[in-house]
Amino acid sequence: MSNDKAPSPHRGTFTTTVPGVARIGANRELKRAVEAYWAGRTDAANLKQVADSIARDSWNQMVRNGFDSVPVNTFSYYDHMLDAAVMLGALPPRVASIADPLDRYFAAARGNDTVAPLEMTKWFDTNYHYLVPEIGPETSFALDASIVLGAVADAQALGIPARPVIVGPITFLALSKTVGADAEAVSISPLARIDELLPLYVDLLAQLAAAGVEWVQLDEPTLVTDQAEGLADLAERVYRALSESTDRPKLLVQTYFGDARDRLAALGRTGIDGVGVDLIAGSADSIRDAQLTGKHVVAGVVDGRNIWRTDLHAALETLRELRPHVGSLAVSTSCSTLHVPYTLRGESQIDDALYGWLAFAEEKFAEVGALSRALLHGEADQEPQFTASRTALLSRTTDPRLHVPAVRERLTGLSSSDWTRADAAVRREAQDAALPLPILPTTTIGSYPQTVEIRRARSALKNGTIDAATYRARMEQEIAQVIALQEKVGLDVLVHGEPERNDMVQYFAEQLDGFAATANGWVQSYGSRCVRPPILFGDVARPTPMTVGWTTYAQSLTNRPVKGMLTGPVTIIAWSFVRDDQPLAVTANQVALAIRDETVDLERAGVPIIQVDEPALRELLPLRTADRVAYLDWAVRAFRLSTAGVEDTTAVHTHLCYSEFGDVIGAIAALDADVTSIEAARSHMEVLDDLNDAGFAAQVGPGVYDIHSPRIPSIDEITTSLREALGAVSANRLWVNPDCGLKTRRTDEVVVALKRMVAAAVAARAEVAAPVA
């Protein structure tokens, strides 16, 4: 573990680091360990051993790459916001009586028989989900720094130049929610309690100083958002106060996921020692404008969120230009590498060219190290990393798969008629004539339970123990069962059940040109849950139909209409690593055309209804309000491009879930789908009022029960949901469906729940026909 290549930093500063690292383990060791602990198969001591070795491995890896400041305390058993809540004494009272700290922690994260877990939501615009701390009248903040101090001590014992990383007070409160007895109390932002937190942070800083910590990092990504008014003033006030405490390490305030602009200048006016900036999502101009000549600036010039190899020459240029505008400079990634896989090593199935274009976390560490050395010694051309970067860049710009003439010509030939269908009323009439349905038609969102048989068949195909024909036969058997189930419970519009889909994005990525898959490219989604996003590297096209066979097979088994199921372009992009060499809008249109080809083929094969799911529509919404119009514009256009190729008689459905829709409600109307199914069971149909206010006049299927819970709803509950829905939209616009796909449920639960849903719909039809006076 030689450190002799590390440049000697400016006195008291450092040159080479990252804001944080992943913690699930290179081979998902943490996932296995926590799941074993939850199942009672291991004890806390074992779990801690796994945790310690994950943290130690990443520290050593960073030191090997010449890091002279190593982020510690970035490990978490479940989530770093939950860790911050523990540190600040802000766990909800309902878990307080659980004596064991680890069990209390996991109860807050996952709930148990008697307590509900904290709510989970998206971490800024990433695919990571954090637990939302609850701040209520009972919350009385109190510092417990033991976990941070423990991490620091462990690192110091190994000679690691440890820089503890802690969620900053502004971000902690801005991402929490207020709970309380009455609506008025709840409407107050948790940020109102910032002054209660400051003494705790002062105390924390003092304890870290006493432990011999030289630099501490407080993460404040909220400073790149428009999440609250007056963030610049607040940042200035908070960090003036914290920097004035004399007994403290040097203080680095780390921003990421955007450009902190005026908040950066505000931080510059305080006595903090350093700021971390994201130069991938933000720009160097802000640093110049902010007058940071007295500060240590940690410059995130290597993309921490995407998987492409850095243009090191360009990054070095950026760093050199910055140097005169800052006090001292360190090289870093734009954000924690939590959001990218661990390492490219072992990805032997990726072709040589693509492999050369990629950098996962380990490779990014090497890039940061090389940039840092080149900045200090000015010998970029002797760094093998720089040569590799140049070669990769050249190969990437000249690879024919990134510039497929047929795809490009199709895109430039598009005109507005390609994303416009006939008037909605005209379509409605044509669809009603082509396919008469009862009033309040019943349907489901697409997936049915992923049974043991399905999973077994999938892994047998992968291991080569069954051939493609056998696999197909097994899937058809599943489809037949799901069709029979739906006929038995009496649904009006059926689906094939999606047994062949491991994942709603991966399934399509595997069949489209321009995508690649990784063998071990896991990233944490939440807790122990990981995803393996496909890589969208080239021009996208659809060589052959992807879903037509399954859908027509399902249709051949029933006289009732079967709905075809596709994933929309925005969701495919949101859940993949996407090429960064052209605007997202262009990539989205390419994906849209591939999906459009599929809709046209489905229609030709006689499928009367096609659903194009866009659960991630809200996810990609930019953090800054000013950027939102442009995003929604291309997102809506891409969806419309993917769906506007069919005849008026074909009904286009879409499905949205996983979020509050307030910010995108206008865009939902603009999608111009014939039917929109939308998650509403938990928000009590409020979404319908919002849709009405936005002028939405199409058919809608607000989810009448929550599929995320194993609890089976009663007929009465569903009836109440339906009555609420009928209060907001007329009966001839209303569909009846659950609020999402059923793949995570068990078949026996699904049968009972759907029978009740159909019974409630039948009763509601009678009520609508003969309204009670």
Cβ-based neighbours of 328, under 8 Å, separated by 6 or more: 9, 10, 13, 296, 297
Structure token pair of residue 235: 């940042």
First to last CA, the chain: 82
Nearer to ligand GLN, 447 or 650 (CB): 447
Nearer to ligand GLN, 344 or 678 (CB): 678
**Is 565 a binder of Zn ion (CB under 5 A)?**
no
Pick from Zn ion, ligand GLN, none: which does 447 bind, CB < 5 to 8 A by kind?
Answer: ligand GLN
3-state secondary structure of 556: helix
Nearer to Zn ion, 636 or 740 (CB): 740
CA geometry: angle 299, 301, 304, nearest 5 deg: 105
Nearer to ligand GLN, 71 or 713 (CB): 713
Pick from Zn ion, ligand GLN, none: which does 743 bind, CB < 5 to 8 A by kind?
Answer: ligand GLN
- Asked if residues 455 and 403 have their Cβ atoms less than 8 Å apart, the reply is no
Only segment of 33-41, 144-152, 718-726, 739-747 that touches ligand GLN (CB under 6 A): 739-747
- Asked if residues 512 and 594 have their Cβ atoms less than 8 Å apart, the reply is yes
- Asked if residues 690 and 618 have their Cβ atoms less than 8 Å apart, the reply is no
**Is 740 a binder of ligand GLN (CB under 6 A)?**
yes
The residue number whose beta carbon is nearest to ligand GLN equals 741
Pick from Zn ion, ligand GLN, none: which does 80 bind, CB < 5 to 8 A by kind?
Answer: none
482-501: which residues touch ligand GLN (CB under 6 A)? 498
Single residue of 67, 741, 753, 765 touching ligand GLN by CB under 6 A: 741
Paired strand residues for 655: 613, 677
Single residue of 222, 443, 447, 589 touching ligand GLN by CB under 6 A: 447
In DSSP notation, 313-351 reads HHHHHHHHHHGGGEEEEEEEESS-GGGS-S-STT-TTS-
Closest-CA residue to 327 (of 253, 255, 273): 273
Closest contact distance (angstroms) between CB of 753 and Zn ion is 15
Structure token pair of residue 509: 């990525």
Amino acid code (one letter) for 687? V
Supply the angle between the helices 747-769 and 715-728 in degrees, to the nearest 10.
50
Nearer to ligand GLN, 134 or 619 (CB): 619
Which region, left, alpha or beta, applies to residue 310 given φ > 0 means left and ψ of -120 to 50 means alpha?
beta
Query: What is the strand order of the sheet 215-219 is part of?
Result: 70-72, 162-167, 215-219, 250-254, 274-278, 292-302, 326-333
553-612: which residues touch ligand GLN (CB under 6 A)? 565
Closest contact distance (angstroms) between CB of 571 and ligand GLN is 8
Pick from ligand GLN, Zn ion, none: which does 671 bind, CB < 5 to 8 A by kind?
Answer: none
Closest contact distance (angstroms) between CB of 388 and ligand GLN is 39
**Is 504 a binder of ligand GLN (CB under 6 A)?**
yes
Dihedral sign, CA of 731, 733, 735, 741?
negative
What element of type H or E holds 122?
A: strand 120-122
Single residue of 161, 441, 615, 701 touching ligand GLN by CB under 6 A: 615
Closest contact distance (angstroms) between CB of 421 and ligand GLN is 22
Cβ-based neighbours of 166, under 8 Å, separated by 6 or more: 73, 84, 87, 148, 204, 216, 217, 218, 219
Structure token pair of residue 145: 């720094």
708 labelled catalytic: yes
Structure token pair of residue 756: 């009740």
Nearer to ligand GLN, 82 or 758 (CB): 758
Nearer to Zn ion, 287 or 657 (CB): 657
Nearer to ligand GLN, 17 or 650 (CB): 650
Nearer to ligand GLN, 675 or 740 (CB): 740
Q: Which residue has the tokens 């094969």?
A: 605
- Asked if residues 678 and 656 have their Cβ atoms less than 8 Å apart, the reply is yes
Only segment of 112-120, 170-178, 602-610, 740-748 that touches ligand GLN (CB under 6 A): 740-748
Pick from ligand GLN, Zn ion, none: which does 303 bind, CB < 5 to 8 A by kind?
Answer: none
Burial of 349 (0-12, 13-18, 19+ CB in 10 A): exposed
Pick from ligand GLN, Zn ion, none: which does 565 bind, CB < 5 to 8 A by kind?
Answer: ligand GLN
Closest contact distance (angstroms) between CB of 744 and ligand GLN is 9
**Is 740 a binder of Zn ion (CB under 5 A)?**
yes
Closest contact distance (angstroms) between CB of 655 and ligand GLN is 5
Closest contact distance (angstroms) between CB of 740 and Zn ion is 3
Nearer to Zn ion, 447 or 518 (CB): 447
Closest contact distance (angstroms) between CB of 476 and ligand GLN is 19
644-673: which residues touch Zn ion (CB under 5 A)? 657
**Is 707 a binder of Zn ion (CB under 5 A)?**
no
582-621: which residues touch Zn ion (CB under 5 A)? 615
Nearer to ligand GLN, 365 or 448 (CB): 448
Closest-CA residue to 402 (of 222, 536, 288): 536
- Asked if residues 179 and 134 have their Cβ atoms less than 8 Å apart, the reply is yes
Only segment of 148-156, 180-188, 513-521, 737-745 that touches ligand GLN (CB under 6 A): 737-745
Total residues contacting ligand GLN by CB under 6 A comes to 13
Q: Which residues of 25-35 are buried (b: 16+ CB within 10 A; e: fewer)?
A: bbebbbbbbbe
Only segment of 251-259, 277-285, 592-600, 736-744 that touches ligand GLN (CB under 6 A): 736-744
Given 296, 655, 684, 708, the catalytic residue: 708
Pick from ligand GLN, Zn ion, none: which does 613 bind, CB < 5 to 8 A by kind?
Answer: ligand GLN
Alpha-carbon distance of 147 to 629, in angstroms, equals 43
Cβ-based neighbours of 359, under 8 Å, separated by 6 or more: 302, 307, 308, 309, 310, 344, 367
3-state secondary structure of 326: strand
Closest contact distance (angstroms) between CB of 621 and Zn ion is 17
Pick from ligand GLN, Zn ion, none: which does 446 bind, CB < 5 to 8 A by kind?
Answer: ligand GLN
Closest contact distance (angstroms) between CB of 656 and Zn ion is 7
**Three-state SS across 147-198?**
HHHHHHHHHHHCCCCEEEEEECHHHHHHCCEECCCCHHHHCCCHHHHHHHHH
Pattern of binders to ligand GLN over 644-673, x per CB under 6 A? -----------x-x----------------
Closest-CA residue to 700 (of 690, 709, 708): 690
427-446: which residues touch ligand GLN (CB under 6 A)? 445-446
Alpha-carbon distance of 499 to 550, in angstroms, equals 10
Catalytic residue positions, numbered: 708
Site for ligand GLN, rule CB under 6 A: 445-447, 498, 504, 565, 613, 615, 655, 657, 740-741, 743
Site for Zn ion, rule CB under 5 A: 615, 657, 740
